[in-house]
Amino acid sequence: MKCKNCGGEIRLEDLYCPYCGTANTQARQHAMDMQKYQADFHQTKQDVTQRAGRESRRAVRIAAIAFLLLAIAANIFIQANSFMLNSILEEHRLSKNTEQLLQEADRYLDEEDYIGFSSYYYKMRLGSYNKNYARYYPLYRVSQSYRYAAQQIMQLVNPRRYSNIAHITKYTSEYIQSFYESLDPDNYSYYEDYESEWTQRHIANMKESMEALLIAYLGMTSEEARSMPELSRGNRALLVERGLAQYEEQQTP
Protein backbone atom coordinates (compact mmCIF):
# COMPACT_ATOMS: atom_id res chain seq x y z
CA MET A 1 0.00 0.00 0.00
CA LYS A 2 1.11 3.65 -0.57
CA CYS A 3 1.49 6.57 1.81
CA LYS A 4 -1.29 9.11 1.33
CA ASN A 5 1.22 11.97 1.74
CA CYS A 6 4.30 11.03 -0.32
CA GLY A 7 3.16 7.97 -2.22
CA GLY A 8 5.93 5.78 -0.79
CA GLU A 9 5.43 2.06 -0.26
CA ILE A 10 4.44 1.23 3.30
CA ARG A 11 3.17 -1.92 5.04
CA LEU A 12 -0.14 -2.27 6.82
CA GLU A 13 1.68 -2.86 10.08
CA ASP A 14 3.76 0.40 9.76
CA LEU A 15 2.36 3.03 12.12
CA TYR A 16 4.28 5.79 10.26
CA CYS A 17 5.56 6.24 6.69
CA PRO A 18 9.31 5.37 6.65
CA TYR A 19 9.88 8.14 4.07
CA CYS A 20 7.93 11.17 5.25
CA GLY A 21 6.88 10.16 8.76
CA THR A 22 3.17 10.64 8.10
CA ALA A 23 0.94 8.59 10.43
CA ASN A 24 -0.58 5.50 8.83
CA THR A 25 -4.26 5.66 9.88
CA GLN A 26 -4.99 2.27 8.40
CA ALA A 27 -2.26 0.72 10.57
CA ARG A 28 -3.89 2.11 13.73
CA GLN A 29 -7.27 0.74 12.68
CA HIS A 30 -5.66 -2.60 11.86
CA ALA A 31 -3.99 -2.72 15.28
CA MET A 32 -7.27 -1.91 17.01
CA ASP A 33 -9.07 -4.54 14.95
CA MET A 34 -6.40 -7.12 15.82
CA GLN A 35 -6.62 -6.30 19.55
CA LYS A 36 -10.39 -6.60 19.45
CA TYR A 37 -10.12 -9.84 17.49
CA GLN A 38 -7.63 -11.30 19.97
CA ALA A 39 -9.79 -10.22 22.92
CA ASP A 40 -12.87 -11.79 21.31
CA PHE A 41 -10.86 -14.91 20.50
CA HIS A 42 -9.63 -15.32 24.10
CA GLN A 43 -13.12 -14.69 25.51
CA THR A 44 -14.62 -17.21 23.11
CA LYS A 45 -11.92 -19.73 23.99
CA GLN A 46 -12.54 -19.21 27.72
CA ASP A 47 -16.32 -19.59 27.25
CA VAL A 48 -15.83 -22.77 25.25
CA THR A 49 -13.44 -24.17 27.88
CA GLN A 50 -15.82 -23.38 30.75
CA ARG A 51 -18.80 -24.77 28.87
CA ALA A 52 -16.85 -27.90 28.02
CA GLY A 53 -15.90 -28.28 31.70
CA ARG A 54 -19.50 -27.92 32.80
CA GLU A 55 -20.65 -30.38 30.17
CA SER A 56 -17.90 -32.78 31.20
CA ARG A 57 -18.86 -32.58 34.89
CA ARG A 58 -22.52 -33.00 33.97
CA ALA A 59 -21.64 -36.02 31.86
CA VAL A 60 -19.69 -37.48 34.78
CA ARG A 61 -22.64 -36.95 37.14
CA ILE A 62 -25.07 -38.48 34.65
CA ALA A 63 -22.75 -41.44 34.17
CA ALA A 64 -22.41 -41.88 37.95
CA ILE A 65 -26.19 -41.75 38.45
CA ALA A 66 -26.71 -44.20 35.59
CA PHE A 67 -24.12 -46.55 37.07
CA LEU A 68 -25.73 -46.30 40.52
CA LEU A 69 -29.19 -47.06 39.11
CA LEU A 70 -27.76 -49.97 37.18
CA ALA A 71 -26.04 -51.29 40.32
CA ILE A 72 -29.28 -50.99 42.32
CA ALA A 73 -31.24 -52.80 39.61
CA ALA A 74 -28.59 -55.52 39.43
CA ASN A 75 -28.61 -55.90 43.22
CA ILE A 76 -32.41 -56.22 43.27
CA PHE A 77 -32.26 -58.78 40.48
CA ILE A 78 -29.55 -60.77 42.26
CA GLN A 79 -31.38 -60.70 45.59
CA ALA A 80 -34.67 -61.75 44.00
CA ASN A 81 -33.05 -64.61 42.18
CA SER A 82 -30.93 -65.50 45.20
CA PHE A 83 -34.07 -65.81 47.32
CA MET A 84 -35.68 -67.93 44.63
CA LEU A 85 -32.58 -70.09 44.33
CA ASN A 86 -32.34 -70.53 48.10
CA SER A 87 -36.02 -71.45 48.22
CA ILE A 88 -35.51 -74.07 45.53
CA LEU A 89 -32.47 -75.49 47.31
CA GLU A 90 -34.29 -75.55 50.66
CA GLU A 91 -37.29 -77.26 49.07
CA HIS A 92 -34.98 -79.85 47.52
CA ARG A 93 -33.19 -80.43 50.84
CA LEU A 94 -36.45 -80.89 52.74
CA SER A 95 -37.95 -83.15 50.08
CA LYS A 96 -34.82 -85.27 49.81
CA ASN A 97 -34.58 -85.91 53.57
CA THR A 98 -38.27 -85.88 54.46
CA GLU A 99 -38.46 -89.33 56.03
CA GLN A 100 -35.38 -88.87 58.19
CA LEU A 101 -36.34 -85.36 59.33
CA LEU A 102 -39.90 -86.38 60.20
CA GLN A 103 -38.73 -89.40 62.16
CA GLU A 104 -36.41 -87.25 64.25
CA ALA A 105 -39.09 -84.61 64.85
CA ASP A 106 -41.57 -87.30 65.90
CA ARG A 107 -39.00 -88.81 68.25
CA TYR A 108 -38.71 -85.54 70.19
CA LEU A 109 -42.48 -85.23 70.39
CA ASP A 110 -43.02 -88.85 71.41
CA GLU A 111 -40.54 -88.34 74.24
CA GLU A 112 -42.32 -85.07 75.13
CA ASP A 113 -38.98 -83.29 74.80
CA TYR A 114 -40.48 -80.03 73.61
CA ILE A 115 -37.36 -77.98 74.21
CA GLY A 116 -35.38 -80.45 72.10
CA PHE A 117 -38.08 -80.41 69.41
CA SER A 118 -38.02 -76.61 69.25
CA SER A 119 -34.23 -76.54 68.90
CA TYR A 120 -34.26 -79.30 66.27
CA TYR A 121 -37.00 -77.63 64.20
CA TYR A 122 -35.09 -74.34 64.22
CA LYS A 123 -31.70 -75.92 63.52
CA MET A 124 -32.97 -77.95 60.56
CA ARG A 125 -35.02 -75.02 59.17
CA LEU A 126 -38.06 -77.17 58.63
CA GLY A 127 -40.17 -74.15 57.73
CA SER A 128 -43.91 -73.62 57.88
CA TYR A 129 -45.00 -73.78 54.21
CA ASN A 130 -43.66 -77.12 53.05
CA LYS A 131 -46.65 -79.46 53.03
CA ASN A 132 -44.71 -82.24 54.75
CA TYR A 133 -43.76 -80.06 57.71
CA ALA A 134 -46.63 -77.56 58.00
CA ARG A 135 -48.44 -79.69 60.58
CA TYR A 136 -45.47 -79.26 62.92
CA TYR A 137 -45.42 -75.47 62.79
CA PRO A 138 -48.05 -74.78 65.51
CA LEU A 139 -46.19 -77.12 67.85
CA TYR A 140 -42.91 -75.46 66.96
CA ARG A 141 -44.23 -72.00 67.74
CA VAL A 142 -45.70 -73.07 71.08
CA SER A 143 -42.63 -75.13 71.98
CA GLN A 144 -40.35 -72.22 71.11
CA SER A 145 -42.22 -69.93 73.52
CA TYR A 146 -42.22 -72.71 76.10
CA ARG A 147 -38.45 -73.15 75.71
CA TYR A 148 -37.72 -69.45 76.20
CA ALA A 149 -39.97 -69.22 79.27
CA ALA A 150 -38.59 -72.40 80.84
CA GLN A 151 -34.98 -71.34 80.30
CA GLN A 152 -35.72 -67.91 81.75
CA ILE A 153 -37.31 -69.46 84.84
CA MET A 154 -34.24 -71.64 85.33
CA GLN A 155 -32.05 -68.54 85.11
CA LEU A 156 -34.32 -66.77 87.55
CA VAL A 157 -33.89 -69.38 90.27
CA ASN A 158 -30.11 -69.52 89.91
CA PRO A 159 -28.67 -66.82 92.22
CA ARG A 160 -25.43 -66.64 90.23
CA ARG A 161 -27.17 -65.73 86.97
CA TYR A 162 -28.87 -62.45 87.84
CA SER A 163 -27.76 -59.09 89.17
CA ASN A 164 -30.94 -57.05 88.89
CA ILE A 165 -34.14 -58.66 90.18
CA ALA A 166 -36.41 -56.10 88.53
CA HIS A 167 -34.76 -56.69 85.16
CA ILE A 168 -34.91 -60.48 85.41
CA THR A 169 -38.50 -60.60 86.67
CA LYS A 170 -39.59 -58.28 83.87
CA TYR A 171 -38.25 -60.59 81.17
CA THR A 172 -39.47 -63.70 82.95
CA SER A 173 -42.98 -62.26 82.96
CA GLU A 174 -42.64 -61.36 79.28
CA TYR A 175 -41.57 -64.86 78.28
CA ILE A 176 -44.31 -66.49 80.34
CA GLN A 177 -46.90 -64.21 78.77
CA SER A 178 -45.49 -64.94 75.30
CA PHE A 179 -45.99 -68.64 75.93
CA TYR A 180 -49.66 -68.20 76.72
CA GLU A 181 -50.13 -65.82 73.80
CA SER A 182 -48.70 -68.49 71.49
CA LEU A 183 -51.69 -70.69 72.40
CA ASP A 184 -54.15 -68.34 70.68
CA PRO A 185 -55.90 -70.36 67.91
CA ASP A 186 -56.06 -67.26 65.71
CA ASN A 187 -52.32 -67.62 65.16
CA TYR A 188 -52.88 -70.87 63.29
CA SER A 189 -55.98 -70.24 61.19
CA TYR A 190 -54.11 -71.44 58.09
CA TYR A 191 -53.03 -74.72 59.66
CA GLU A 192 -55.72 -77.37 59.55
CA ASP A 193 -53.85 -79.73 61.87
CA TYR A 194 -53.93 -77.24 64.74
CA GLU A 195 -57.31 -78.56 65.87
CA SER A 196 -56.24 -82.18 65.59
CA GLU A 197 -56.12 -84.39 68.68
CA TRP A 198 -52.40 -84.97 68.08
CA THR A 199 -51.55 -81.25 68.15
CA GLN A 200 -53.84 -80.40 71.06
CA ARG A 201 -52.44 -83.25 73.14
CA HIS A 202 -48.89 -81.93 72.84
CA ILE A 203 -50.02 -78.36 73.54
CA ALA A 204 -51.85 -79.54 76.66
CA ASN A 205 -48.66 -81.28 77.79
CA MET A 206 -46.68 -78.06 77.43
CA LYS A 207 -49.31 -76.09 79.37
CA GLU A 208 -49.12 -78.60 82.20
CA SER A 209 -45.33 -78.47 82.17
CA MET A 210 -45.38 -74.67 82.34
CA GLU A 211 -47.76 -74.73 85.30
CA ALA A 212 -45.49 -77.27 87.00
CA LEU A 213 -42.49 -74.96 86.52
CA LEU A 214 -44.35 -72.01 87.99
CA ILE A 215 -45.43 -74.07 90.97
CA ALA A 216 -42.07 -75.78 91.55
CA TYR A 217 -39.68 -72.87 91.04
CA LEU A 218 -41.76 -69.78 91.74
CA GLY A 219 -43.83 -71.16 94.60
CA MET A 220 -47.17 -70.45 92.93
CA THR A 221 -50.34 -72.31 93.78
CA SER A 222 -52.15 -74.23 91.06
CA GLU A 223 -54.75 -71.48 90.86
CA GLU A 224 -52.10 -68.78 90.50
CA ALA A 225 -50.26 -70.72 87.81
CA ARG A 226 -53.44 -71.22 85.81
CA SER A 227 -54.37 -67.55 86.16
CA MET A 228 -51.07 -66.21 84.78
CA PRO A 229 -52.37 -65.59 81.21
CA GLU A 230 -55.17 -63.32 82.46
CA LEU A 231 -53.10 -61.26 84.91
CA SER A 232 -51.78 -57.79 84.13
CA ARG A 233 -48.09 -57.42 83.48
CA GLY A 234 -47.61 -55.76 86.84
CA ASN A 235 -49.34 -58.55 88.75
CA ARG A 236 -47.37 -61.20 86.87
CA ALA A 237 -44.14 -59.44 87.85
CA LEU A 238 -45.30 -59.36 91.49
CA LEU A 239 -45.96 -63.11 91.50
CA VAL A 240 -42.60 -63.83 89.89
CA GLU A 241 -40.75 -61.53 92.30
CA ARG A 242 -42.55 -63.09 95.24
CA GLY A 243 -41.58 -66.54 94.00
CA LEU A 244 -37.95 -65.49 93.67
CA ALA A 245 -37.91 -64.07 97.20
CA GLN A 246 -39.35 -67.32 98.56
CA TYR A 247 -36.79 -69.37 96.70
CA GLU A 248 -33.94 -67.23 98.05
CA GLU A 249 -35.23 -67.71 101.59
CA GLN A 250 -35.27 -71.48 101.08
CA GLN A 251 -31.69 -71.43 99.81
CA THR A 252 -30.38 -69.29 102.68
CA PRO A 253 -28.67 -71.48 105.34
Same structural domain, 126 and 167: yes
Q: Give the span between the Cα atoms of 168 and 161, in whole angstroms.
A: 9
CA distance 250 to 218: 12
Residues 137, 85 share a domain: no
Whether residue 89 lies inside any domain: the answer is: yes
Residues near 31 by beta carbon (within 8 Å), at least 6 away in sequence: 15
pLDDT of residue 14: 64
My answer on whether 234 and 122 are in the same domain is: yes
- Residues with Cβ within 8 Å of residue 242, at least 6 apart in sequence: 218, 219
What one-letter code names the amino acid at 166?
Answer: A
User: Among 170, 120, 118, which Cα is nearest to 145's?
Assistant: 118
Q: Are residues 116 and 170 in the same domain?
A: yes
The number of domains in the chain is 2
- Do 192 and 81 share a domain, yes or no? no
Say yes or no: 240 and 120 in one domain.
yes
Considering the domain boundaries, does residue 17 fall inside one? Answer: no
Final residue of a domain: which of 67, 95, 123?
A: 95
99/161 Cα distance (integer angstroms)? 41
If asked whether residues 121 and 207 sit together in one domain, one would say yes
Residues in CB range of 5: below 8 A, 6 or more apart = 17, 20, 22
Whether residues 204 and 121 fall in one domain: yes
Q: If phi over 0 gives left and psi between -120 and 50 gives alpha, with beta otherwise, what is residue 127?
A: left
49 in any annotated domain: yes
Query: Are 154 and 203 found together in one domain?
Result: yes
- Per-residue pLDDT of the chain (253 residues), as tens digits, is 667 677 667 665 666 676 666 766 665 666 666 666 566 656 666 665 666 566 667 766 777 787 777 767 656 655 655 544 455 455 555 566 788 888 999 999 999 999 999 999 988 888 755 677 888 999 999 999 999 999 888 877 665 555 566 677 778 888 988 999 999 899 998 888 899 999 999 999 999 999 999 998 888 999 999 888 888 878 888 888 888 777 667 656 5
134 and 34 both lie in a single domain: no
Its domain, for residue 224, covers: 112-251
